[in-house]
Amino acid sequence: MGRYRARDLIGVPGLLSLSRIPLAAAFPFVVGRPALALALLAGAGLTDVVDGWYARRFGEVTATGAALDPLTDKLFVLTVAITMIVTGQITVVSVLMLSTREIGEIPLVLWLALSERARRERTEAPSANVVGKVATALQFASVSVALFHLSRPDLWVDCTAIAGAAAALMYWRRALRSARPRS
């Protein structure tokens, strides 16, 4: 279960994760149309929720999926962030704050990609991180506030950064617990 397999890419969870790639590619073309950009963001968020739920519910948690999901998430988030910086809808500092969780997860994603043991642990005990889901919802809200030019985007960004830091700490805590040698 700790090995990467190409066939896992064409299962429902893998296809849902992979669907975020064309959604990311489309985002720069719709950013000027807030309602459409918001729909695209919602679609990407929905695939993120459903792929994990489906994999856990139907016993399709795989090492490939455990690595693919966060990678496609990061690709999508990076595309949205760069697009919004280039279009002047958000600052680099705000993007860094919104990316607190992702920045904190980078070493964990690399560890998961390179360590068969880490992948095995992750696939044997899959679990969603509630704080991570809150951080994702706040990211979505913050980007929506920026897309629609609503008031107090700084407050949303600050709350997202706090939730993101808490989520990253929870991911690290879980990873470090699973890395301990079992007696």
* CATH for 128: 1.20.120
Residue 71 resides in a domain:
yes
Residue 175 resides in a domain:
yes
- Separation between Cα atoms, residue 14 and residue 19, nearest integer Å: 9
Domain range for 88 is: 6-179
Residue 105 resides in a domain:
yes
**Mean pLDDT over residues 89-93, rounded?**
95
Q: Which two tokens stand for residue 118?
A: 């880490």
Q: What local confidence, expressed as pLDDT, does residue 133 receive?
A: 83
**Mean pLDDT over residues 11-17, rounded?**
93
How many independent structural domains does the chain possess? 1
pLDDT band at 121 (very low <50, low <70, confident <90, very high): low
- Separation between Cα atoms, residue 183 and residue 180, nearest integer Å: 9
Poorest-pLDDT segment among 66-75, 82-91, 140-149:
66-75
Q: Are 148 and 84 in contact (CB under 8 A)?
A: no
* CA quadruple 57, 59, 60, 64: dihedral sign: positive
- Separation between Cα atoms, residue 149 and residue 154, nearest integer Å: 12
Residue 1 resides in a domain:
no
**Mean pLDDT over residues 1-10, rounded?**
80
pTM of the predicted protein model: 0.77
